[in-house]
Amino acid sequence: MDFTFVSDHLALDFAATLTWRTSYPIELLAEPADLAAWVTQAGLTDRPGRVGRAALDRARLLREAVYRTALAAERGEGAAAADVRLIREYAAGPQVVVALKALGEAERRGGIDQALATVAARAGELFGGDDRHLVRHCAGASCTRLFVDRSRAGNRRWCDKLSCGSRANASAYRRRKSASLPSEMAPPSPHDA
Ligand SMILES: [Zn+2]
């Protein structure tokens, strides 16, 4: 599976591996192999090694804590103490080691636990710092992806302009068009065909 990385933050991309949360949730980390693929595609580690069912369960726990905390940040609310504790505990373990091999070439060494610890540490950086004020919720209908708004004007609305953004623009265009058409210019009814 090809995962999407559009949140401008690793931890928020991780939170988005459960999509369309409020309408028809889709679990993208369905199998341990999906988690191995995600940490590899995220550039966290070159070889996550064997990923078992228990690691998948741990990953989902971390993901949900990150999601709830991101939502709290976006709403300007306080985070749940249990979620803060969980994110901190996950980050306490050894993290992925990035070893420079040559100019333009680095090796990322660490198993799945190190990868999750790195995600948790990055989440801690985000939620513990000023960038937490930049966490936004996608304006796309039914989309539950969160992102960090790094736009200069601070007006980014979509997780992904090419998916959520263009879908919304297309339906707004259709609405405008049908609202502004004089009746004699209305599209032909099926009877005219
Ligand atoms: Zn979206």
Rounded Cα distance between 163 and 141, Å, is 11
Residue 68 alpha carbon to ligand 1 centre in Å: 17
**147 assigned to some structural domain:** no
pLDDT tens, per residue, the chain with 193 residues? 899 999 999 999 999 999 999 999 999 999 999 999 999 999 999 999 999 999 999 999 999 999 999 999 999 999 999 999 999 999 999 999 999 999 999 999 999 999 999 999 999 999 999 999 999 999 998 999 999 999 999 999 999 988 888 776 677 767 777 766 554 444 544 444 3
Give buried/exposed letters for 77-90 (b at 16+ CB in 10 A, else e): eebeeebbebbeeb
- Please say whether the dihedral angle defined by the alpha carbons of residues 56, 60, 62 and 63, taken in this order, is positive or negative: positive
Residue 134 alpha carbon to ligand 1 centre in Å: 16
What local confidence, expressed as pLDDT, does residue 182 receive?
Answer: 54
* Pair 59, 67: CB distance under 8 Å: no
Residue 159 alpha carbon to ligand 1 centre in Å: 4
What local confidence, expressed as pLDDT, does residue 162 receive?
Answer: 83
What local confidence, expressed as pLDDT, does residue 12 receive?
Answer: 98
What does the block give as tokens for 57?
């369960």
Residue 158 alpha carbon to ligand 1 centre in Å: 5
**120 assigned to some structural domain:** yes
What local confidence, expressed as pLDDT, does residue 114 receive?
Answer: 98
**76 assigned to some structural domain:** yes
Residue 138 alpha carbon to ligand 1 centre in Å: 5
- Per-state percent for the chain, helix, strand, coil, to nearest 5: 50, 10, 40
What local confidence, expressed as pLDDT, does residue 190 receive?
Answer: 46
For residue 143, which of 119, 175, 166, 177 has the smallest C-alpha distance? Answer: 166
Residue 74 alpha carbon to ligand 1 centre in Å: 15
What's the structural domain count of the chain? Answer: 1
**174 assigned to some structural domain:** no
For 122, residues 6+ apart whose C-beta sits below 8 A from its C-beta are 9, 10, 11
Rounded Cα distance between 175 and 189, Å, is 18
**88 assigned to some structural domain:** yes
**73 assigned to some structural domain:** yes
Residue 144 alpha carbon to ligand 1 centre in Å: 7
Residue 67 structural domain: 10-133
**142 assigned to some structural domain:** no
What local confidence, expressed as pLDDT, does residue 184 receive?
Answer: 47
**85 assigned to some structural domain:** yes
What local confidence, expressed as pLDDT, does residue 102 receive?
Answer: 98
